[in-house]
Structure 1
């Protein structure tokens, strides 16, 4: 399963690179609030993936990753609803998140075996 874990790490890394471009266009007054929360959530997601990859017992960490992914999805949807994020960038970003979610689902199924 090591290759799958590395793929999810790389996918998350790439998503963060894309997201930082999107976050730069947030209004100035939101850059230190919502944009900062989104950034923290993405970095936490990345940190949890690295942690899960290194742990022998992964189940609780994988659940934490799943929770953080949902938090991030909610922040991004809120950004789009508040018109800070154009619909096209929202679609690309959520597509990346969905791919990460699918990889995470596969990882969770593999660990449960």
Structure 2
């Protein structure tokens, strides 16, 4: 019994993370993907409460914009010349901002939800801007 409890505590210990894994976790790409996933989860929660007709129109546009943003993030991470993909990603985030403001104008979301959603989008925009500046200095 004593040996079994010792084996259980060893299994619960986290394994050591290699430097490569650690660098990948803290890369701008990984951080941005995590923020995009948080935004996607929040967006899904908000859009679920929209009128049924808009779930298939404006909500579909928002979901498509989020999907394009995630795709452009991956493209920017994999390309050698990242600037064009990063600018496209920045444009996609701006388009997403317009959709959120439209949802507010149509009264599908409250001012509080607009504020929270805009804060998520602004944080992602700042991360993209920092990545663009980093790439400009590398070149």
- TM-score above 0.5: yes
Indicate the structure whose relative CO is greater, using CA pairs within 8 Å and at least 6 residues apart.
1
TM-score (norm 2): 0.78
Q: Give the length in aligned residue pairs.
A: 113
Match of 1:90 in 2: 114
Match of 1:42 in 2: 66
Higher gyration radius (CA): 2
Once residues 70 and 77 of structure 1 are traced to their aligned partners in structure 2, the CA distance between those partners, rounded to angstroms, is 11
Q: Which runs of 4+ in 1 moved over 6 A?
A: none
TM-score (norm 1): 0.95
Unmatched 5+ residue regions in structure 2? 1-22
Match of 2:125 in 1: 101
Equivalent in 86, 104, 118 of residue 80 of structure 1: 104
The Cα RMSD (Å) is 1.2
Equivalent in 7, 14, 22 of residue 46 of structure 2: 22
Once residues 42 and 76 of structure 2 are traced to their aligned partners in structure 1, the CA distance between those partners, rounded to angstroms, is 23
Once residues 111 and 124 of structure 2 are traced to their aligned partners in structure 1, the CA distance between those partners, rounded to angstroms, is 20
Match of 2:87 in 1: 63
Once residues 45 and 86 of structure 2 are traced to their aligned partners in structure 1, the CA distance between those partners, rounded to angstroms, is 27
**Counterpart check, 1:54 vs 2:81:** no
